Structures are given as C-alpha cells and as structure tokens.
Structure 1
C-alpha cells in the first residue's frame, strides 16, 4: 500500500540520494528511469495512471513524487497518526535530541493546529522523557514552555554525560588509527610522566627497546640490507612490512537524517563484500543509496555519542546508539581503511555507504555518464559590478527636424518643502557627470518634473512631450526573442546580466546635450547622458549594445538584458569571461543584484529558456488558473464570458461548460454542486495544459486591454485578438480610495510594467473604458492633476497610444480585475498634500470644512464614483466643475484641481 509517509520518505531519499551520488548531474530522463526501476508493481501501475502537464523529456523525479503525494493523501489516518505520536516515549539508549527530532517528525501528520503545536510537543516531552528525575524537574516549573522544556532536558543530559566522562578519565582509551599495538614500557598511574626523549620504548628503526634518542639507536647511520636505505635495519624495513591504513573521510554533519537501504528492488541482485574486522570476516552490504556506514551494536566498541538519526527505505526509523571507528582490511588487496560507522541497537546487516565504498575502490562512478561540470575559477573582470557610472565608447548626436519650431517652456515651480532635497539631487547628478549647469542661450528648454521614490528620495525628469516631436528617429530594428531563439537551441548553461543605469552609458555630444536643457529654480541644466523618456533613447541604446556585443559568440542582448550561454559549462565559462573582459574594456557596468549565474534555465522575455528548449512562463496564465470559485450568478456570467472569449484555443470546451451554463437558465436556482466544481476545475486545467496563448509576432500590432474595478486591476495583452498573457492584482487599502480615473491609469501602468518585455521599445495600443483618461492623456503633462502627473511619468519609457473602448467589450481584463490575484508587485505610492504651502492644522480644517460643504461633498462623491457622460445627469451643485472634471482628484479627503486645493466657500474669505 502506498501511504503518505512512504511517499514522504521517497522525497527525502531522492533529495539525499541526489546529494550523495551526484545524480544532480544526471539527465532528467536517466533520473526518472532509475527511480521507476526501484518501484514495485503496484507503484508502477499507479504511476502509469497519472497525467502530467509537462512533456516526458522535461519530467523530473520530483514531479512524479508530487503525483504520488496527491495519490496517497486519502491514506492518512489522523486518529492512528495521533495514537503513534502520543505513544512515543524516549528509549533506553536514545539521546534527547533524537527523541525530540522524532516527535517533530511524527506530529507533522497529526493535523494539529499551528497555535497548539508547541504545547502538544511540550506535553509529549514531559510524559515521554525517560529519566524520572528530569520529568520531576519539568513538572515543578510553572508556566513551562516548549523551549524551556528542551533546555532542561538537554542540560540534564549534558550534565550526566560530563559526569560519566570525568569518571572515566583515569582509564586509558585505545588508539583506533593504529594497525598494530606495542606494549608500553611505561605504565605508571598517578606519577608524572618523563619527557618523551627519556622514555624507553620499542624503536621502529632497530626494533629494540631504548630511550628515544638518535644516539641510543644502533641502526642510526647504518644501511638497510633490503632497500639500501639508511638509518634502519632490514628487519624493520617498510618495503616488506607496510601498514596500508587509509583514513576515510567522515560525514560533514550530524544534524541531517541519514539514510540506509535507500535503493532497493527485490528483483535486483544485492552486492556484498567480505572484509576483516578485528580478525573476524564480516559480510558488508554495499549500498549506493546510503549516506552513512552502519554496524550493529554487537560488532562495535568504544562508542561516541551521536545525534544522527537513521531512516530505512520503507520510512521506518532505526535506533542509533552512537558512532565508532573500525579498521577494515580487504583480504584480497591487503589494504586497510579506518572507517567511521553509525552504530544501531538492532542486529542489522553491516552496510558500507556510497562514499566509503567509492574511496575503498569497491564502487566507481563512470564520469562518461555524467554531465561535465567546470567551475568558474574566477571572475577576472569583477570591477564591472562596482557602483561607478558606465560609459560606452564615443558620443551620441541627436538629430532634430528643422521644420519643428523650438519650444521654450517656463519654469515649473518646485514646492518649498522639497527644494532642499531637490537641490541635493541636482548636485549629486552633477557630481556624477549626468547633469551640467547651462548659462548660454539654448533653442529648446523643457520643464522639470519631480517625482517621489518609495525610499523618500527624489527623481528628476524632464517633460519631453514637445521635444520628442522634433526628434528624428533612427528607426533601428529592435531585436526580439524570436530573432535569437535559434542561437539558444543547443545551449545548456545560461547566465543573465543587466546593465546598471543602462541609458546613462550613452554620452551625448555638446550640441545634443544643449537640446536637453531644462529649467529649474536654481537655473538651467542639461543632460550629459542619454536621458530617460526620449522617444529615441531605446533605439540608440539597443544599437550601441549590439555594436559592442552583437558579434560575440554565445552572447544575446535585448534591451538592457544580456544572455551568455554555452553548449556546456566549459563553453559557457569561456563566453562569460570573454563578455566580462569586453565589458571592462568598453566601460560597461552591470547590476550585481540582477545577476543569474550559470543556471540550467532562466526567465527571459516571458519564456523559460532551458536545455530542453523554449516553453511558456507559467506566470503568464497564473491569473486565469487562480480564478476563484464563483459565488453568484454574476460571477458565473463573468467567468463564462471570459472562457467563451478564449474558446477557440481550447478543444471540447462545450461539454465541460454545460454544468455551469445550466446555472444561467431561467428559473434555475444558483447551486454550486459537485458537477459545477468538477467542470470548473477541468476548464482551468485545460487553460494550464493547452497552448491557449498565441505566439508573439513582432510585425503585428500589440494591444493592451486594462480594467480597474473597485478592488482589483486586470490586464490582457493581445495580438489579432488573441491573448499573449493575463495579469491581475488586488488594490491596496489606500489605492481603493483613488478616484476612478486614477485607478484606470494605475491599471495601465500595471499592465505595461507586467508585460515589460513585450511593451518596452515598441508601439503599444492601450485600450481603456474610461473616456476622461484618454482626453487628459492628450494634454500637456503640466495640465494633468499632480498625482496623475507622477503616474504618467511611469509611462514615459513606453511608446503607447491610449484609445477608448466601451467596458462591455473588455471581457477578459474586466474579469481579471474583478477576480484579482494577490501578488508582491510594486505598489504605486504618491504624496501630494505634503508639498502644499499649508500646515497640518490648516489642512485638517480644509478637510473638515469640505466634508460639511454640500456642494463639495457632492463633487467629491462624483469624482470618486466617476463622471457621467452627459452633463444633464449631474447634480446642479456640480455643474460648474464639469469643464474641469479631468483635472479634479481627491487626496486625503481634500479636492485638488491639478496641484491646487479647491477651497470650501466658507474659508475663501479667510485665505485671501
């Protein structure tokens, strides 16, 4: 019978075997074949009935064990597991650490609640501890905790062990590394031992008894009659009498469980060997799946305390009473080995594990069957990961259209509260060589935009809306993943690196730098490096990257990410060292925090690239797979609408949908039964298992649909109406208080960043069902409300066109926003009120008065719920604000028009 405990043992055995026998270098297909070979007929029948999502070539042992775990869940008997746990007591020869470790293992299958787990373990320790004195001490402690109980038991055990060691200090311990023992000439207990040079002992050079001095040895200066060497007699010559004792390497740690008899098949032939232990022949089983060597207690002496726990193939525990070292002699080769053993209380078969058997020459691994592993000895160009500013060779010239009239924008004032930090950031970028002051006249002057980072620092940007219209693009062909896939088809080892401050690697010439001049309250500044947000920045940067690394073998560069790959580790390391050397030569600096070094697979451009080929990233369909179970008819219709929209990509969908579609019929009560649940799970499984995502085509239009509901954001990326990927996330508590226009723009930002590898450096059509957002996006950035300005800055790196489409046509993104998936994505934050000239008490007064003002209360409600399409649908008190509706937002209960506060009528006289 396949139980969950046996399956858990298989998983631990698989992990341990992979570390012990170096199977981490064996191909997946070979690992799977070895694992299946060890299963009995019942397990093989069960395995053949499993269905897997991945192809057979990508299937791992871990995937198969996961299926067995699901298969064996029904075999867990909670009552029996608790009986076993509550019956567990410390054995006579068992140390406390082993007892407590076994309790931790047993309690995992008892299904106790997490809150009461510590108290249950504490009670079991008190009731099951072997020593009555320790139990008495535990019962005397008031408010006994688990950690206190463990400390008391360990302290008592250590005290007893130290006491026994002190009592045995007068005894003489035997030397386990010696092959032959000579009688000691000096055995005086209690007397002071003389110096070594004055002791009389049997000399290994002459064989006689004398003081250990050269002058006393008759063999000193004499020639051996056998080997003709000097300073020893022929009777003591090592060429005729050599003790071949090899000290075998012991295990590194006792804290992890050890395994024995891990690879077992009743159809296989067991391999045994006969070795001499204390002049007695002993038959040892050679177990390549064992991580330790094992002896029964009857063959062991001079035990050393140990906390090692042993587990056999079936999952049962073996009682460990300590460790010892024994001299083993191979009767055939005459070689001797000093081997460490774990000693068991039971009369078990003596076992030699993989490490000892290999070191003794009894077992060998054929390296021809293993993957070659070449360690990267050193990164010769480690300076490329420092914090300096990188710089590509040469300078970049920006070309403008002479027919476009230059625009000089007025200064955009920076709030007084942040001017100090603003000046510090200007000075920092100037010192870094990114900005420089300007005093001469310039044809173009842009405005400044100051954004707050999440860490409290400021980000200085320009508003290039008008300047971008004058820039002439190079129309450089941007490489896409499909262009380079053929280069990766034979590679097995991959490294991914990211350029640090990518655009700032490009140095502008003086003429071009003056075109990027912007106005501040501290004077004009210009960009010395390629600024973020220009319409030509992406093309220039990509061209520079390919000019430097395009001809390098084993190097693929798209945007600011670079893949270094090779057919094997040696080929990969050579390509990587060549790339890093070139980075140092050309002044490239890399981001150490985004380094993925020498991996068998990497995530790149929405795909998982591995030695097995290219497959879709599972995150692309996670939002669909995690769609929650519908709890109402509205949610059923939403789910059906989404599935029907994608029905052309899933076969035999009608039959699966039938139980759920029945709920939408008239006079049918909403009852989610087992039939609906099975159909629901089957449909989601088809989404996860079938190729429902279209292949990205760089020549086709890229469309991003976005939708924001009251509690979530949803996005779907499309080409020719076919989805490339889905995404959704929940709104934070503060984001739920945003005005609807702010939520809709937040959904656009979320979608563009979620699908960054598709949307970056190419035109994207962004569809929204919020018409006011389209109109405000077409205005200058300075006309937008303050919070929308900061949010629009997040989109400056993208080339997008925002269009309107009614919400009824946005089936998928609407469903995703109403069934969002909780993620750890970055949450947009912005604080506008802190930059106003009012103090906190005045802001609190404005907020309180706004809530009491009938007209402004109605206005605030309209802003948060969304403006109607028709002016006639508005409340009369809100009509005067209709023409400015796109500029109005609500922040902390205060109404803003742009970055200006709308003052209640009762306070306007006081604030003049």
Structure 2
C-alpha cells in the first residue's frame, strides 16, 4: 500500500514556469514547504461551544495500512507539523483512497467540528468575483500547494486538533483540511495578504488565485507582484497545476476569456440539454419540472397546453410539430427568463434533490424578498459505473454529496445552515453507527465540511428535482431501506408545507 504525499514532488519544480519568473524559484520548490510555516498574525484558533469528550474507539487497520501510518507519522514529525501529545481528548485517523491508487491519511474532525464555534468570515461571492474580470484579456492561475498547511494553529489551541493512532497521540501544529473553520480562516488570511491587489489584478477563492490584466505587458508586472508577495510570506505553488499568460481558462467552473463569460448559461445547462420526450411518462416528468416556472413566464398555461393535453387520460400518443414547438418554447422560456437569481451569501441556501435508478437531479435556491424560493442553478448527473447498482440510501446520499461538490463555491463556509429537502426516508440509514469503508470515509469527511440540515419533503412536493433525476431513468431500482448523518442534522419536522407557505414562515436575515 502506498500513501500519497501532501503534494507529489515535480521532477522539475519550474517546469511550465516562464523563465522571467524563475527568480521566484522558492515559491515552486519543495524544500521550504516541508518545514513548519512561520508564526503569523492569522494563525487559526478553535473556540469550543462546550467542553466535552472527543474520545472515540480506534478505526481498525490492516497491517499494510498500519505500516503506512507509521511511515506517515515519521515524515510529518520530521517536518515539524505534528508532535506527540499526552492529553486524553482526540479525533480519529483514516485512509482515503485517491484516483491513482495511493491512499491519503486524514483526520476525522467531525466531533470536534460539532463543538466548534463557527467562523462567519464570508467566502467571496463567485458572481462578484467574475464581475471583476470585465475587460481582462490575459490570465494566470496559481494553485497554492496545500495552502491550509501554511497556517499554524494558535498556541493554546493545538491540543484540540489531537488525533489518536495505535502508535500514540499526536496534535497538529498547522491548519488542516477537515477543520470546520479552515476555509473562512484561510480566506481571511489571503484577503489581508493581498488587500492592495484585490479588485485591481487578482481574485482569490481559498487557495485558488487568478491574476488578470488587459494586456500582456501589464500582466507580467502583475504576476511579478503576486509571486513576490508569495515568496516573502513563504507560500508555495505547484508549477504543474499553474498556468501562465493564457487567453482562455476555466476558473471556479466557468470558462473565462477576453470575450467574456456566461455564468447563467452554465447554471441552466441541465434544462437546455433536456431530451425530447418519447412517451407519456417523460412528458409528465418535464411538465413536473416546468410547472415551477409558471409564476415567472408570461402565457405559461397557453404555451404548455399541447403537452398537458397529451397526458390526459385516453389520449393516444402523438408527438408532432405542435408538441415539439411547445416543448422547445418552454425550454427557451425557462432558460431565458429571469428565473435564475444571483447568489447572496448573506441568505440561507435551499437544496432540493431526488435520486432515481439512473440519475440524480437537484436545484439550488434562495428565498427572495417576496418570500418565494428562486433557483440559482440546476444539476443533472447520471450515475456512472458501480453507482448504478447502489441501493437507494446510497444514491440519496450521493445526490447530496455531488450537489455540495458541484456548488462548492456557494455552499462551503455558509453563514446559515443549508436546508436540504429530500423525499426519501432512506437517509435514515446513515444515522446509525457503523464501520465505514474507504468510500464511506470520503463521504463522511466531505459532509463534515458543510453546515446543513436535512428536511423530509414528500415526493409530490419535490417534483422539480424528481423530474430532473428521471430523465435518464430507464431502469429504476426499487428503494431498499437498509452514522453517516448524525441525528442533529435532521430537522425535527414531520412534513414540509407547500413551497409558498413554507417560505412565508421563513425569517429572512
């Protein structure tokens, strides 16, 4: 068994870096990174809501994993990023598999996070970040090498990061992935560090840096300024993950170029790609989704009438120009009307979702001034490979996880809990204590990084994501009722009121 290093070393650390930036070779080197970072004013603290035991039984490990764990402990002890501890409060460690077949050792801070006061420093609004790129024609993207590890834990707080292994107790000296306040603390640090360049030539989302300029000459100057700041503050990049002086690139899931970008077109791709129905059930699914737009589209009823007529009892199937025209007009209206709103990080997010045998569908929304939920974007993903054979409780949880990952730039570090609506009780399965396999461990750690609650929503009230998920559903797998999700995550609500009534009861900030 092999373990992944925090960053695998490049054979040539400067490969891909233009020669004019080689004076900043330390930024792309490995030697300096493998040391304890300097003391900074923004070293992270961990404030607990209450003092309580964090002790848990050890996860079992094979002999191969135990040997790998011992090697990992030796390496990070040598780098000075952890040291032995004698206290009795600790979290657990586990191995998470990577795509290349190696394994990454991580600490499960779920219980610590539940007792940690949340840092409400806001993450940047992606819409606002993109707006800064107007007129830019040249771009450079820098990816910080394990950026979180570049911040120390404050003195007096390190004991809270303690983790236990069969070889002893250790505590982290640096900020790590998995701590609930890591994203907010790191964003605060980066914003202060580059405050003179923000809104001028740089946008920063956590450890992702984008430098932008109107011409190549100015861009060279801007890149020099950023790399100089990184070198002076002992922050490091991995050259193989950086791109320099390009005219088109993908940033935060959006294609950016000198010609501009279209954020909303990416958000509504699921609707634009909806295939032409071939049977009554598929028409019903489309109408179930489209009906939510009736409040926002002029003449919706008239436009949808040919499709509604088609699903009436005793009406033979006939798909002609009239039906195709209605279908296409509805798609155009949904994707072109002002249904999609810009995300507001000060407001709560609502995630509606459903999983079927072949696909998952979800909609991210926020409540607006009229008390109604308005969508920010749609997601449709077909299950791939082994996922198609998952039981429904796996698929429902995977729908939440993939939605969180897809909208990470909105949902990570939210001020308010994300309300997740689901129409299946299968998620109850994950409330039970159980031994996690490697896949479960990955999911568990990912979910621990989000602030959310789950609300049961009966199937008839979740028609929008239900319709999305059933696009590709040619072989539904019947639900099989078989703690990934701890009890506090589930809202104590027996049912959900219809959307408008529920929204009316929301207390907007």
Cα distance between partner residues in 2 of 1:648 and 1:608: 31
For residues 520-531 of structure 1, the aligned pairs below 5 Å read 520-531=165-176
In structure 1, what is the equivalent of residue 494 of structure 2? none
Residue by residue, what CA displacement relative to the aligned partner does 1:325-354 show, whole Å, maximum 9, x if unpaired? Answer: xxxxxxxxxxxxxxxxxxxxxxxxxxxxxx
Q: CA, structure 1 residues 654+618, in 2 after alignment: closer, same or farther (shift >3 Å)? A: same
Cα distance between partner residues in 1 of 2:412 and 2:190: 16
SS in 2 for 1:511: coil
Matched, 1:703 2:350: yes
Matched, 1:741 2:393: yes
In structure 2, what is the equivalent of residue 207 of structure 1? none
Matched, 1:767 2:409: no
Which deviates more from structure 2 when the two are superposed, residues 750-759 or residues 760-769? 760-769
Alignment partner of 2:107 out of 450, 458, 462: 462
Matched, 1:866 2:497: no
SS in 2 for 1:589: coil
SS in 1 for 2:447: coil
Cα distance between partner residues in 2 of 1:613 and 1:776: 44
Q: State the shift of 1:578 in Å.
A: 0.6
In structure 1, what is the equivalent of residue 20 of structure 2? 378
In structure 2, what is the equivalent of residue 287 of structure 1? none
In structure 1, what is the equivalent of residue 322 of structure 2? 675
Cα distance between partner residues in 1 of 2:356 and 2:162: 41
Alignment partner of 2:312 out of 650, 658, 665: 665
Q: State the shift of 1:632 in Å.
A: 1.8
In structure 2, what is the equivalent of residue 427 of structure 1? 74
Q: State the shift of 1:733 in Å.
A: 3.6
Q: CA, structure 1 residues 420+485, in 2 after alignment: closer, same or farther (shift >3 Å)? A: closer
5+ residue gaps, structure 1, are 1-375, 822-862, 868-884, 888-912
Asked if the contact 1:633–1:663 (Cα under 8 Å) also holds between the matched residues in 2, the reply is: yes
In structure 1, what is the equivalent of residue 270 of structure 2? 623
Q: State the shift of 1:719 in Å.
A: 1.1
For residues 224-623 of structure 1, the aligned pairs below 5 Å read 378-379=20-21, 380-387=23-30, 389=33, 393-395=38-40, 396-401=43-48, 403-416=50-63, 418-436=65-83, 438=84, 440-484=85-129, 487-509=132-154, 511-552=156-197, 553-605=200-252, 607-611=254-258, 615-616=262-263, 618-623=265-270
In structure 2, what is the equivalent of residue 188 of structure 1? none
Asked if the contact 1:713–1:816 (Cα under 8 Å) also holds between the matched residues in 2, the reply is: yes
Q: State the shift of 1:518 in Å.
A: 1.0
Q: State the shift of 1:741 in Å.
A: 0.7
SS in 2 for 1:533: coil
Asked if the contact 1:411–1:447 (Cα under 8 Å) also holds between the matched residues in 2, the reply is: yes
Cα distance between partner residues in 1 of 2:176 and 2:62: 24
Cα distance between partner residues in 2 of 1:526 and 1:886: 25
Q: State the shift of 1:530 in Å.
A: 0.8
Residue by residue, what CA displacement relative to the aligned partner does 1:825-880 show, whole Å, maximum 9, x if unpaired? Answer: xxxxxxxxxxxxxxxxxxxxxxxxxxxxxxxxxxxxxx97323xxxxxxxxxxxxx
Cα distance between partner residues in 1 of 2:461 and 2:175: 40
Larger radius of gyration: 1
SS in 2 for 1:532: coil
Normalised TM-score (structure 1): 0.46
Residue by residue, what CA displacement relative to the aligned partner does 1:759-802 show, whole Å, maximum 9, x if unpaired? Answer: 1221422222222425734x6xx546545444222323322222
Asked if the contact 1:621–1:725 (Cα under 8 Å) also holds between the matched residues in 2, the reply is: yes
Residues matched between the structures, number: 449
In structure 2, what is the equivalent of residue 4 of structure 1? none
Which deviates more from structure 2 when the two are superposed, residues 791-800 or residues 484-493? 484-493
Matched, 1:802 2:447: no
Q: State the shift of 1:646 in Å.
A: 2.2
Q: CA, structure 1 residues 628+483, in 2 after alignment: closer, same or farther (shift >3 Å)? A: closer
Which deviates more from structure 2 when the two are superposed, residues 632-641 or residues 397-406? 397-406
For residues 42-81 of structure 1, the aligned pairs below 5 Å read none
Cα distance between partner residues in 1 of 2:28 and 2:452: 33
Cα distance between partner residues in 1 of 2:150 and 2:392: 39
Q: CA, structure 1 residues 646+595, in 2 after alignment: closer, same or farther (shift >3 Å)? A: farther
Query: Relative contact order: is structure 1 or structure 2 higher (C-alpha 8 Å, sep ≥ 6)?
Result: 2
5+ residue gaps, structure 2, are 1-17, 368-372, 485-509
Q: CA, structure 1 residues 715+386, in 2 after alignment: closer, same or farther (shift >3 Å)? A: farther
Q: State the shift of 1:397 in Å.
A: 4.5
RMSD of equivalent CA atoms: 2.9
Cα distance between partner residues in 2 of 1:384 and 1:410: 41
Asked if the contact 1:435–1:527 (Cα under 8 Å) also holds between the matched residues in 2, the reply is: yes
Q: State the shift of 1:712 in Å.
A: 1.1
Asked if the contact 2:362–2:403 (Cα under 8 Å) also holds between the matched residues in 1, the reply is: yes
SS in 1 for 2:468: helix
Cα distance between partner residues in 2 of 1:723 and 1:717: 6
Which deviates more from structure 2 when the two are superposed, residues 552-561 or residues 387-396? 387-396
Cα distance between partner residues in 2 of 1:690 and 1:377: 48
Cα distance between partner residues in 2 of 1:693 and 1:479: 19
Asked if the contact 2:93–2:105 (Cα under 8 Å) also holds between the matched residues in 1, the reply is: yes
Alignment partner of 2:404 out of 752, 763, 766: 752
In structure 2, what is the equivalent of residue 320 of structure 1? none
Q: CA, structure 1 residues 551+586, in 2 after alignment: closer, same or farther (shift >3 Å)? A: same
Q: State the shift of 1:749 in Å.
A: 1.0
Q: State the shift of 1:743 in Å.
A: 1.0
SS in 2 for 1:735: helix
Normalised TM-score (structure 2): 0.79
Cα distance between partner residues in 2 of 1:582 and 1:773: 47
Cα distance between partner residues in 2 of 1:604 and 1:687: 26
Residue by residue, what CA displacement relative to the aligned partner does 1:520-560 show, whole Å, maximum 9, x if unpaired? Answer: 11222222221211111111111111121122241222222
In structure 2, what is the equivalent of residue 100 of structure 1? none
In structure 2, what is the equivalent of residue 72 of structure 1? none
Residue by residue, what CA displacement relative to the aligned partner does 1:365-398 show, whole Å, maximum 9, x if unpaired? Answer: xxxxxxxxxxx87224244234453776424252
Q: State the shift of 1:623 in Å.
A: 1.5
